[in-house]
Amino acid sequence: MRFNAKDLALLARQPSGCFDKEGKLKICRVVGDEKLIEPKERWCRLKGNLLFLMKNKSSDASEVVILERCWVVEFKSKADVSIVLKFQSGEPDLYLEAASKPDCESWAVALGEANSEGLRHKIQQLRRLIMEIKEERSADEARQFLPPSQVDSLGEPQFTSIQRIANEPKLEFSLACKDLVAATRDRKLNTFIQVSVVHPAEHILTRYSSTEIVEGTRDPLFLTGVTFPPEYPIYEETKIKLTVYDVKDKSQDTVRTSVLPDHKEPRADVGRSFLGCATFRVGDLVKSKEQQLTLTLRTSDGGKAVGTIEVNLVKMGELEDGETDHITTDTQDQKCALVRECMATEGISGKDNLPSLNAVLKNPICKLYRFPTSDNKWMRIREQMAETTLSFHVPKELINLHIKEDMRRNQELKDLGELAPHWDNMRKSVIAHCDQMLSMYQDTLAELGKHTGSSFKSSCSKGEKTLEFIPINLHLQRMHVHSPRLKDALYDVITVGAPAAHFQGFKNGGLRKLLSKFEAERRNTGYQCIYYSPENTAKAKEVLSNINHLQPLISSHADLLLSSASQRSPDSLKNSLKMLSEKTELFVHAFKDQLVRSALLALYTARPGCVLKKPAVPRNSAEEGGDSQHQDHPSQIKRQDSIPHHSEYDEEEWDRVWANVAKSLNCVIAMVDRLLEKDNISSIKEDQNDPSTADCKVLHTGGDWYEQLYPLVITLKDCMGEVVTRAKQSMAFVLLQELACGLPQCLMLTLRRDIVFSQALTGLVCGFIIKLHTGLHDQGFLQQLHTVGLLVQYEGLLSTYSEEAGMLEDMAVGISDLQKVMFKVIEAKSEDFLPIITGRREHYIIEVQLPAKMFELLPQEIKEGKLLRMYPVLFNVGINEQQTLAERFGDTTLQENINQENLELLKEYYKLFTEKMPPDCLPHFQEQNDLKGLLENLHQNIQAKRRKNVEIMWLAATICRKLNGVRFTCCKSAKDRTSMSVTLEQCSILRDEHQLHKDFFIRALDCMRREGCRIENVLKNVKCRKYAFNMIQLMAFPKYYRPPEGTYGKADT
């Protein structure tokens, strides 16, 4: 290229205001990924398509870069502040590094728009803007001739609403083009339509949606429609602009794979070209007789016609009539599926259960397909996806319970009373560590309380500390199938990232390995503290929980008994005594365990100055014991001194204290019986006396009942208080040993387990609520729910290599812990339908609230508060390239063990199901495949130990659906591998249960992956419509888990 050096030098020395952009950048040349020299700081000036590089602001230009036939590569990392200019000529790339991210972004925009292509794009934008102004001018001119009164009324526009069915989309239409004109005769067009909306009140063009790309035809039938949800502000006066583009290369069409601001048009050099556009009023479409408009497509200048576009109004819910034979005449590359977008919440639920489901579901996305069946009929499939408010609600409730439980435990440790120096120092150390952990929980809860905005945690945030209790990318995925000859069916899958402690990392493995290692190490610390098995530690926590629950209940019923006595009410007295007896018997039963007795002895030996004739605390035994006294009671010292220090501890003393509660209760019962007997005799005599004298006698003797019962009730409370104090101290001493033996690992493991459990429980609560709403009218399912329990099947796609092996270990423990969760359904007393969580670690009860009308549909057992059990099972099969490494060079034992263990759990559930449920409670397609045969097939596949045996997951999912279970699908972030699995499952169901035409299985699969809800999920997470796979990775994937071409590539995850 020829140029005048003097003119360029003069241009470079012009004043600052003459340049498009200038500033400091570090610059060097790059070949491949290697820099030829270290970047040097230069003063850069941009003028048109010329970039001047100068040593400083006042020096002459040392180099001029002509910005033609080049493109800008901007790095997506938040920390990266560099861009690269790549040249078509093949010369070395130019590396430019800015001082900050905003500066880097502004340089990227300026350089990208500097060449002739950028100038041409600006001209096209101005032309389109002129066209829109021309279209609106006629309306503005007409306004000038209106009477003043009408002009004033237009100050507050009164727009015509579109009359549609309640809770249905306001407007839906499909699109097709005919006789499109290509730039060259031989070129085959690959077209799509971009849909934009011009709001009548604002006159602003807003991009709304796009169709899919139809390849190789000038008469494309677009199978992606357009839907406006009920809440969308669209009126008859609203204008809709349709712009048709020709895509040269689908993989380079970044407009469809990335998000741009509404006001920003895509660049013209991204692999597509503008063909033409057309605009119509919504009212014209709605009021047209044929429910169809045929519009002429014109170029940007509004002159040349380049084809026509047909807009057909679609009424949602109407099943298409007619045969599908004409499909075969379509262009081969066109998908045979109708896809429309919808965001109506009603798509997720029916009208009856809408309010309560709206409390847990949010931001639903809906797609609609039509596929041909094997008998050449159409079936319609509605695919839905929604996030849930439970993603943050459940973890916050759990953390709040953890805080209360830990505060109570710390106080119980402080209430142990005086201890020998060794044990006292141990207690101080434990309390100090516990206080630190408590503070961390409180800080986490405070941070979550500040969270606003989205109700889901994106995959990019899985390593954030403040969000570590939140499940990753939790969504409901639903498929609603409407077939011509089969009954409508719903299929739900909960998709969520594998429950794992990502912030803490997996350097030393996950919970499964860490817990095993910790328990082995704890057994060898007997010289420092007393070893109690995990079973005994759990039992100690249960005893403490029973104490905290039963003591206030017994005290309350005792007060009610005295109140009934003061009112001299025989019926009330009987009822109060019955409740007091039941609760006291439970209380007494809670302390029958030998652990309390042995722990009392162990505590006694830890008191100052205690001397025993023989060792009282054998090592490595779970049957140690001791004694405890009231630390706040005035007679504490006296009681302590009353036990001889130079003789063996009297273990029978605990039996006497414990038995005193039962004896005191018997005294109360005997007194009540005596009072009621005397009252009956008095009543018989009073029948023969004057009524007025009877009234006097009631007033005279009413106080006798209270006075006779009061001392017995006080004695009962005192005895109970003595038992509570001793039992609490002994169990707290057991917990002290557990904590002291493993500081600080014990607390860190508890934190990790809490994090994993929080993620797992949130998904379970969401799945249970959705399943309950879906099965409210299924009496067989409701009977199964309270008779057997609910099967919850998790499908894992994690590899057993590197970090994902640690994630799988976390996930396995978290899902196993869900066995200790119970559900209870209650009637909602307000408009707040969010679930209520109560309990403690290892024993939580989730109260699910239903509106009164829905609550009445439940069986009596559930309405009376029967606790509903969960049976979680996990089957994992790694499918990615890391699993290939694990199978060839690593170890897959973890996966094999998990699958084998959970197969046994599944068999136990099936056995329980067959024993308690009648045969006719299984779904209607039970006859097609025998459950017993499916279980045997699953067993054989697990035993076979074949590489990437995905049939294990297919069989487990089928068994779960046939047993009315809840389905989960998980991978690291529930985004890419999960999307492949969910779409494959949906298409497999359509083929196996709803007669999807065999020739269209792959097309349906590609359609769901390219245009369905899962690509929207990817967009929500990483702001890019591309699955995070590359070609090398996909070579290791099973065949049916590979996405269609153009839907995958490099993306942040």
Q: Which residue has the tokens 């709803």?
A: 994
336 is catalytic: no
* Alpha-carbon separation of residue 539 from 594, 731, 843 (angstroms): 11, 9, 12
Q: Which residue has the tokens 């005893």?
A: 543
**H helix or E strand, kind and range, residue 245:** strand 239-247
**Angular region, 322: left φ>0, alpha ψ -120 to 50, beta rest:** left
Measured in whole angstroms, the distance separating CA 17 from the mean position of its chain's CA atoms is 52
Helix (H, G, I), strand (E, B) or coil at 81: coil
Measured in whole angstroms, the distance separating CA 989 from the mean position of its chain's CA atoms is 24
Contacts of 239 (CB under 8 A, 6+ apart): 135, 197, 198, 200, 279, 280, 281, 282
Query: Residue 582 carries which side chain, given as an amino acid letter?
Result: E
Q: Look up residue 208 and give its two tokens.
A: 């709304």
Distance CA 12, CA 143 (A): 52
Q: Look up residue 254 and give its two tokens.
A: 């970044």
Is the N-terminal amide bond of 744 cis, ω within 30° of 0?
yes
Q: Among residues 766, 921, 971, 1024, which one is catalytic?
A: 971
Rounded to 5°, the CA angle 546-549-551 comes to 95
Distance CA 339, CA 341 (A): 7
Distance CA 271, CA 248 (A): 5
For 6, other C-beta atoms within 10 Å of its C-beta total 8
Contacts of 749 (CB under 8 A, 6+ apart): 511, 514, 515, 518, 742
For 437, other C-beta atoms within 10 Å of its C-beta total 18
Q: Look up residue 835 and give its two tokens.
A: 């679930």
Nearest one of 669, 674, 706 to 577, comparing CA atoms = 669
Burial class (CB in 10 A: 0-12, 13-18, 19+), 134: exposed
Q: Look up residue 689 and give its two tokens.
A: 């006396």
Nearest one of 974, 964, 906 to 935, comparing CA atoms = 906
**H helix or E strand, kind and range, residue 364:** strand 361-372
* Alpha-carbon separation of residue 602 from 113, 394, 555, 599 (angstroms): 80, 39, 30, 5
What is the DSSP secondary structure assignment for residue 338, as one 8-state letter?
Answer: -
* Alpha-carbon separation of residue 746 from 478, 525, 696, 741, 812 (angstroms): 41, 13, 68, 8, 19
Nearest one of 961, 651, 940, 587 to 775, comparing CA atoms = 961
Nearest one of 969, 360, 490, 982 to 776, comparing CA atoms = 490
For 927, other C-beta atoms within 10 Å of its C-beta total 8
Q: Look up residue 431 and give its two tokens.
A: 């309390």
* Contact call for residues 548 and 642 (beta carbons, < 8 A): no
* Contact call for residues 238 and 197 (beta carbons, < 8 A): yes
What is the DSSP secondary structure assignment for residue 200, as one 8-state letter?
Answer: T
Q: Look up residue 924 and give its two tokens.
A: 């209607």
Q: Tell how strand 40-47 and strand 21-31 pair up.
A: antiparallel
First to last CA, the chain: 44
Q: What are phi and psi of 569, to 5 degrees?
A: -110, 105
Query: Residue 129 carries which side chain, given as an amino acid letter?
Result: L
For 447, other C-beta atoms within 10 Å of its C-beta total 13
| Catalytic sites, residue numbers | 971
